Structure 1
């Protein structure tokens, strides 16, 4: 499975970069799936919905299916968070999986970096970061792209994964 990450600190533009890369790469005819890491408890379900009621009643898994989509929610109920490799194994085959977050994993990544956040650049100390997408000039030993140069970033990622 071809895998590439987008990483960076909070408010660096990771989600916007992911969204724009998915649109750009799927627009070129490639199939893309995404994995997003969250550092907080999150809920994709809505209170009052049947699936929410099933889950809060104690179900470990709730699968909701319709003609338009399938969603599987799994409650860990105190079990450890599954590693990225286990999550990737659950995905259907696609041309490329883009991963948001998981900055400590060993897959190749592009770092989203905004100077105004005041956070340090991760790339200087992390060889898994192969390029940086930024809003400020940087002097680095790897490619630096403008945050809005989505076609060039997509070209770089596709070359890196052999597509």
Structure 2
């Protein structure tokens, strides 16, 4: 699963841009997810609906199951934990999260003057929704219009990356995950520098349906303990391909 972000001023057309890119990617056969930051809203649920009434009564989580889709209303999540809902997806498009999203992104604005304050070291493209004829680039960052769906979709596919865990452990040689991501975008590092992501390729710990980041030492320790325990059991291969443990309380 790879992520790509879209940020910019309010009412600049971010959702419209994301909608067009999502449709393009889906038509190409990709499985696409979407995360939006509704930072100015206290609640997402509509007042007066059954689920909001149950929220007011104290129910911390509410699930609604309909014929074609389901909805889960729950406590706020950190962005990195929200990614755990998208196992098996090709791309997750992230709208907003200007400060907490760590990854390549496009700035969406009506005009270049509105975009400048949002451009940073993670910006790989600019979409101007107030014009159909954007001009070239800004500080070597390509500029597109709403009509350039194919070009923007290609930019997303080229630059989207596995999400970094946000631990800021420094084991990659950079002080923060943002520093590593910035270096990746500049071509000075690769996603393989993240030792935590390497550990996740071997061991994944999931608690209450949320993945818990592990450093390589802890991941290796957990892996070795499980293999040693499992291999001592009768009828179990000495080198199993996959081990799954579920603990219910």
Cα RMSD (Å):
2.1
Superimposed CA distance per residue, residues 96-134 of structure 1 (whole angstroms, 9 cap, x where no aligned partner): 000000122221101112128x6351454x111111112
1:121 maps to 2:116: yes
1:106 maps to 2:105: no
- Partner residue in 1 for 2:90: 95
Superimposed CA distance per residue, residues 55-110 of structure 1 (whole angstroms, 9 cap, x where no aligned partner): 12111000111231111001x4xxxx532101112334211000000122221101
- Partner residue in 2 for 1:143: 142
1:82 maps to 2:77: yes
**Alignment partners' CA distance in 1, 2:62 and 2:151:** 40
- Partner residue in 1 for 2:126: 132
SS in 1 for 2:141: coil
SS in 2 for 1:90: helix
Task: Name the TM-score, length of structure 2 as normaliser.
Answer: 0.57
- Partner residue in 1 for 2:39: 39
Greater share of strand residues, 1 or 2? 1
Q: Which has the higher contact order (CA 8 A, sep 6+)?
A: 1
Higher-Rg structure is 2
- Partner residue in 1 for 2:180: none
Greater share of helix residues, 1 or 2? 2
**Alignment partners' CA distance in 2, 1:57 and 1:132:** 45
Q: Which runs of 5+ in 1 are unaligned?
A: none
Decide whether the 8 Å contact of 1:45 with 1:51 is kept in 2: yes
Task: Name the TM-score, length of structure 1 as normaliser.
Answer: 0.83
**Alignment partners' CA distance in 1, 2:105 and 2:63:** 32
SS in 1 for 2:38: coil
Question: By how many angstroms is 1:43 displaced?
Answer: 4.2
- Partner residue in 2 for 1:15: 15
**Alignment partners' CA distance in 1, 2:59 and 2:109:** 40
**Alignment partners' CA distance in 2, 1:3 and 1:111:** 15
